[in-house]
Amino acid sequence: MKFRTEIDIPKSEIQFEHSDNILTLGSCFAENISKYFSYYKFNILENPFGVLYNPVSIYNSLKFTIENKQFLKEDLIFDQSEYHSFFHHSDFSNHNYEACLSNINDNLLVTNEYLKECNKLIISFGTSYVFRHKERNIIVSNCHKIPQNEFERFRLTVDETKDYLQKIIDTLKIHNSALSIIFTVSPVRHWKDGAVDNQLSKSILLLAINEIVSKNNNCEYFPSYEIMMDDLRDYRFYAEDLIHPNKIATDYIWEKFSENHFTSECFKVMNEVKKIVQAVMHKPRNLKSAVHLKFLDTQLKYINELSNKYVYINFTDEINFIKSQF
């Protein structure tokens, strides 16, 4: 008997290696996937602007980065004793405008340089709803808890969404023609929109991505949304809020992503890296025992061996942590 509707995902032409430079952008699902890449020591830059949900915000962030935009004081707003950027997450906010601007502009510079060498980009869209600040006439990435009456909320059409997706691709390809892009739709329901509006919002994203991917080379779609909705359609795969995927679900989606996008060599390296990561997480009974010190020495030798073998993997954190225990 069959009790699940598993998603059949054709093997992707976009294959990952540890020598890749990976960038993730978008919803909190992009952050979840990034944690797996980081665990296995891939070179990854995770959501440099903070969480972004809609295509317009993601396009704006990339455009500002590639154009080397310098944010000025007049680009900020002051509310609740802090300076904020409508294009950035609240992590960038600060009571001092110079510190806020420095954080934003330094981050743009780092991301610009990273994009030049980046060859894999994963973009996770959460919604096709956007907020327009009425006075400034801009679509914002974050409302920063500013009164709702200052914004107009509306849903992008399929055509508008397609236009922004194409602009994302065109802008990136001019800056870096070697870039491969994977689009996905976050499996997190935006339940505040209600069941019907959430489904309409996700459907617009899916329709737009489907058409854009079919027209552009080195662009693909990964069905994380469909895996969650159809394969894992049971509350045991959800967190307590019944909205977000739990760890079992994200582990499963990562497994499916890996099967689809990783080479056999990549899996081999991941297994070797995992041994190091798990060894570092080991909690000894006695830090200064001869057995533990020998264990640490063995791990350092193994890391040195892997570092020589895979020069593009950075084990600095692991080395420093182990040395701190001697």
pLDDT (average), residues 160-176 = 95
DSSP letter string, 32-91: HHHHHHHHTT-EEEE-TT----SHHHHHHHHHHHHTT----GGGEEEETTEEEETTS-GG
Nearest to 123 by CA among 52, 39, 228: 52
Query: What tokens appear for 205 in the block?
Result: 């994203």
Architecture of 21-262 per CATH?
3-Layer(aba) Sandwich (3.40)
Beta strand 82-85 with 151-155 is unpaired
Tens-digit pLDDT profile for residues 236-280: 999 999 999 999 999 999 999 999 999 999 999 999 999 999 988
Domains of the chain, residue spans: 21-262, 263-326
- What percent of the chain clears pLDDT 90, i.e. is strictly above it? 87
Tens-digit pLDDT profile for residues 186-233: 999 999 889 999 999 999 999 999 999 999 999 999 999 999 999 999
Query: Which pLDDT score is estimated for 192?
Result: 87
